[in-house]
Amino acid sequence: MTKHLMLCLLLMMMLAGCSSQKKSAETPDAHKYLVVYYSQTGATQAVAHELARQLEADTLCITLEQPYDGSFAETIQRCQQEMADHTLPVLCPLTLNPADYEVIFLGYPIWFGTYASPIVSLLKAVDFSGCHIVPFCTFGSGGLESSVRDLKAALPNTRIDEGYGIRNARIEKAPGEVTQFLRKHHFLEGDIEELPAFSEQQPLSEADSAIFQAACGDYPMPLGTPISVGRRSIPAGTEYAFAVSSQQSNGETSQTVIYVTAADAADAKPEFTRVVR
């Protein structure tokens, strides 16, 4: 083989290697984000679709062989019976393997203070060891914090991040809140709203009590009695953290924190955003 031919072959090999490296660098990771969710009423699905849109993520909807398709009361009755019988709903076959993805956004409604029972079935069906999960949920009053605690207890070998939650009554606010959540946790680039810490809890004024009543007075179940409040400024308004005392069915007293936002606009109704138990 002549020296000229050897040089030509070497040059071709170098060019081929550069082309392969360039293709690898420009090819997106098709398995970076997966949004997995169970939704009964459509609220969790709305948040799931918003997450998937902003992240350009794949989605996996959890479905059941026997759906919870009855009324609210019928769903509660069925869940109570399943808990008494120590049974779980059976999932339809999954079309994607969550463990194949770098980050899994796991969504669910809050039932009985934690993630809905179809998620219990999912946790038993899939090995999430070594995975990275970001929870999100929808709820009537609250349950994000308790459900994240339960996820961590159920999946001790899984990284579970701080989650996002929103009341069903505020679902139209999800797009903007999801953007801020993803930016805060560095899944998206962009500015975030840096908020100050809440003030120390202080005795309620008449104005504070009126704000609590305006935000929470029409909630269909008892939330308790506010006993003190902390405040902080937020864009275009104020956020309140009410310490609330309530009596449990066994007669014991418990304390929760109920968050309310009040816009500066005079005609804006204060919003009950969540309760932390």
pLDDT, tens only, 54-99: 999 999 999 999 999 888 889 999 999 999 999 999 999 999 999 9
DSSP characters over 141-165: SB-HHHHHHHHHHH-TTSEE---EE
228: burial class by Cβ within 10 Å (0-12, 13-18, 19+)? middle
For residues 146-152, give the mean pLDDT.
98
CATH fold label, 33-184: Rossmann fold (3.40.50)
Amino acid symbol at 198: F
Other CB atoms within 10 Å distance of the CB of residue 57 = 20
Q: What is the pLDDT of residue 223?
A: 95
Handedness of CA 262, 177, 154, 71 (dihedral sign): positive
Spatial neighbors of 267 by CB under 8 A, at least 6 apart, are none
Where exactly are the structural domains of the chain? 33-184, 202-276
How far is Cα of residue 109 from the mean position of the Cα atoms in its chain? Answer: 9
Q: Are 185 and 132 in contact (CB under 8 A)?
A: no
Q: How many residues does the chain have?
A: 277
Q: Are 75 and 83 in contact (CB under 8 A)?
A: no
Task: Say whether pLDDT at 162 is over 90.
Answer: yes
